[in-house]
Chains A and B, each alone.
Chain A
């Protein structure tokens, strides 16, 4: 295991994107659909003083006013397309943002260009 300094990062990036796409497009379809931890906290705190806590919980879980999707949807409707578009968009915007920063180095910068 002796990584070389000048080794290309392309295999790493490609492998990482494949893993991300696999997670976002495939694994995400098996995501739990119950409210997430913050939504749970919101629901529980909203029902704290209700006489019928069970009914309140059931009702709140589908309350769009609290930003809580019905129980069948978690954060948003997960499809393979959301995974593909989201992964592509975050990669492009993330890399693009720092590329813009890189293109305008401060004066007197000694940044090395590989």
Chain B
């Protein structure tokens, strides 16, 4: 899900580019406060993994395919702002190096499929893990729910940009959301698998150490 050139009108392109640049600046400022050296290669790795995963489009019903968005996963792993920055790097490289997603639509993509899922997914995950019990099951369930919800929310914002701020008729709106309600399940499965793998091997690398399910939380306390 990328907005190509020509699907956002000039006014939308200008506004979304400005807002996108503002988000990147804010994210850089916020990241500075929390960044420790170990995060540096992990941010690069997350961007690289999301890039690779976005190349793999898998077929869903009706002659349509979908690929991982990865925003919620990045937000949960890196924190909301570093997660948003990692997604921005992915869209920058795709737009400039691979003509995937237009340059004029870069701002809109950074907002809708970058920061919205990374920041929104992170905070939804925080809320869910606070409400639910601190078990591995509810932890991974929260990852899955955040992944699904942000995929649908991102599709709604993309639909807003291309129908209100672009040439598409409003009918694109329900189609986008409907299709992505299905795509979101794939997103949830992949994101949850990745976070589960990291939880099993290096839980100390996940951003929110206070939200880890109980066994993992204990073992990281032991060695803290």
Contact = CB atoms under 8 A, between A and B. Distances in A.
A75 B86 CA distance: 20
A50 to B, nearest CB: 12
A102 B65 contact: no
A64 to B, nearest CB: 9
Nearest to B45: A16
B82 interface: yes
Majority DSSP secondary structure for residues of A touching B = helix
B135 to A, nearest CB: 16
B55 A113 contact: no
B220 interface: yes
A53 interface: no
A9 B183 CA distance: 33
Contact of B52 (A1, A12, A83, A98): A83
Interface stretch (B12-20, B117-125, B170-178): B170-178
Given A23-B55, A45-B175, A87-B52, A99 B40 contact: yes
A55 to B, nearest CB: 15
Contacts of A9: 38, 41-42, 202, 205
A102 B5 CA distance: 34
Indicate the size class of the contact surface on chain B: 35 or more
Given A3-B219, A24-B55, 7 more contacts: A3-B204, A37-B64, A41-B175, A75-B57, A94-B85, A98-B44, A111-B35
Contact of B7 (A35, A66, A76): A66
A7 to B, nearest CB: 7
Contacts of A97: 28, 43, 85, 89
Given A12-B205, A91-B47, A34 B93 contact: no
A20 B52 contact: yes
Contacts of B158: 38
Interface string B49-80: 11111111111101111110000000000000
Interface string A81-102: 0110111111111111111011
Interface string A34-73: 1111101110111010000000000000000111100000
A114 B36 contact: yes
B106 to A, nearest CB: 13
A97 B66 CA distance: 29
Contact of A101 (B32, B41, B92): B32
A35 to B, nearest CB: 6
